[in-house]
Amino acid sequence: MENQGLYLTLRERKLLLKSLEAELRLEYRRRIEIILLADAGLSQAQICKALLCAQETARYWIAMAQTGNAHNWSDRPMGRPKTVNEQYLARLKELASHSPREYGYPFKRWTAQWLSKHLVKELGIQVSTCHINRLLKEMGLSTRLKNNTTEKESSSLHNCGIIVQDLPPSNCYNNKNLATDCLMSFGNST
């Protein structure tokens, strides 16, 4: 009679061993190996050392074996799920290219937060504001106001009363007669 493991049935163990024969991604292979080693009685520390895996990974898959869920080793896909599709990108581009007022909002410009909220309502896909901004940037779009005000600002600076060159030198602050010296140097610079 074959050795009975701690958590797996004979059938489950055979299925997992058969799965190891297939070409699997390293991460999936490691899941199965963790489950099999835990079933054989190895501790979390021993498994981590043998497979060079993170404690969190070993702990999770050991718990899956202990709770009778070893058959779910392939149910959790690797990496972050891809939620943004072509429809989402097209709608984001369309929204960003039009005023929010056209869609019933009281404000003049979109923010990434409002674009995200609107797209959740329309398409049911939740995307962070950082990711919205990243997607807009990739499309050559932005929620920020274009900087056409630099010429206006620079021309208005010439009309103001104080210009940086009118400030007193910094050595004024080290003198004994602070007020007098600074006022005199300020008066000499004009």
Whether pLDDT at 181 is above 60: no
CA–CA separation, 67 vs 62, rounded Å? 9
**Sign of dihedral through CA atoms 51, 54, 59, 61?**
negative
More confident residue, 145 or 111: 111
pLDDT average, residue stretch 22-29: 88
Which pLDDT score is estimated for 46?
97
What is the rounded average pLDDT of the residues 154-174?
Answer: 51
Where exactly are the structural domains of the chain? 10-72, 86-138
The pLDDT of residue 114 is above 90? yes
**What is the average pLDDT score of the chain?**
80
Annotate 32-93 with DSSP letters as a single string: HHHHHHHHTT--HHHHHHHHT--HHHHHHHHHHHHTT-GGGTTTS-SS------HHHHHHHH
Q: How confident is the model at residue 97 (pLDDT cuts 50, 70, 90)?
A: very high
Residue range 69-81, pLDDT digits in tens: 988 888 766 666 5
Residue 178 half-sphere exposure, CB side, CA atoms within 13 Å? 3
Q: Residue holding tokens 């056209």?
A: 102
